[in-house]
Structure 1
Amino acid sequence: MSATVLDAPADDNLALREPDERKRMSAPAIKLFFKVADLWGLTVDQRRAILGDVSKQTYYNWQKGSVTSLTRDQLERISLVLGTLKGLRLVFASDDNAVRWLKANNHEFEFAGRPPLDRMTQGSINDLYAVRRYLDAWRGMK
């Protein structure tokens, strides 16, 4: 799952509508999400918000490896996190610098003086998109 849903061809996005495909992708996707969340030092509540406000029980089941099938929304959220990680790694020389930026107050319009991570953890998938788009624009992408 190196490419993100956003980078995938339209046919791949349609595949997320298929229950078998979502089931196949779910365990590897959540495993990658936990690795990124650990790298960024996210709290359990931040992780749950990014995943779409999943319950604590569901979160801990996933953490133990008990993942049956994520929803399309959850897979897209993880895809956005992976795309954000990719963007951060293209913009910053080190993961430490990237995490510092993610957690530092930012006075750009999109962040209103708050850290980009705060925007990501508001619970809406649109907030995840906003940070991803910001990084894409920063690196000169459309």
Structure 2
Amino acid sequence: MEHSSARRVADDAPVIALRDLAATESRRLGAAGMRTFLAIADEWQLTVATRRVLLGGIGESTYHKWKLGDVGTPSRDQLERLSLLLGIYKALRLLFSDDATGVRWLKALNTDPDFAGRSPLDRLLRGSIEDLYAVRRYLDGWRGSWP
């Protein structure tokens, strides 16, 4: 009976190690993603309030901690948002010959049904992760790479 108990502990050890590894990887990805997002947000000339919405409605103190590099362990939603925003940035860079044109497109009113006369940035600022996916799919479709 002790043997089975010891075995359960041994079986749990890899699971704990994987959880620790996942948390370490999340912290690493979160810090790198946040640094990149901050550079993009500067280029896009986004306000702090706008940045916070794009990151999932995080609090002001959380945003400022993140800005200082204290990202901690971001949630899956936050990592997903960072990934989508980086993908949107990359798509704009691929579609437009210069960064300023991409930023203008992001902020310009758009009559496409996906935007209903509002700007793509307005769509992003609805706050739902689905809206980030919609803009990403739109750009990737425009590039011809989204199935």
Which residue of the partner structure matches residue 112 of structure 1? 116
Q: By how many angstroms is 1:102 displaced? A: 0.2
Counting aligned pairs with the same residue, the percent is: 52
Deviation at 1:20, TM superposition (A): 2.3
Name structure 2 gaps, 5 residues minimum: 1-18
Q: CA deviation at 1:68?
A: 1.2
Q: Which has the higher helix share?
A: 2
The one-letter amino acid of 2:67's match is: Q
Paired residues, what number? 127
Q: Which runs of 5+ in 1 are unaligned?
A: 1-14
After the TM superposition, which residues 28-107 of structure 1 pair with which residues of structure 2 at under 5 Å, given as runs?
A: 28-107=32-111
Alignment-mate amino acid for residue 31 of structure 2: A
Q: Distance in 1 between matches of 2:94 and 2:64?
A: 32
1:132 to 130, 136, 145: 136
Deviating above 3 A after TM superposition, structure 1's stretches of 4 or more consecutive aligned residues are none
Higher Cα Rg, which structure: 2
User: What secondary structure is seen at the aligned counterpart in 2 of 1:18?
Assistant: helix
Q: CA RMSD in A?
A: 1.5
TM-score by length of 2: 0.83
After superposition, what is the alpha-carbon deviation per residue over 1:57-109, rounded to whole angstroms, capped at 9, x for unaligned? Answer: 10011112222111111011010011001111111000000000000000100
SS at match of 1:66: coil
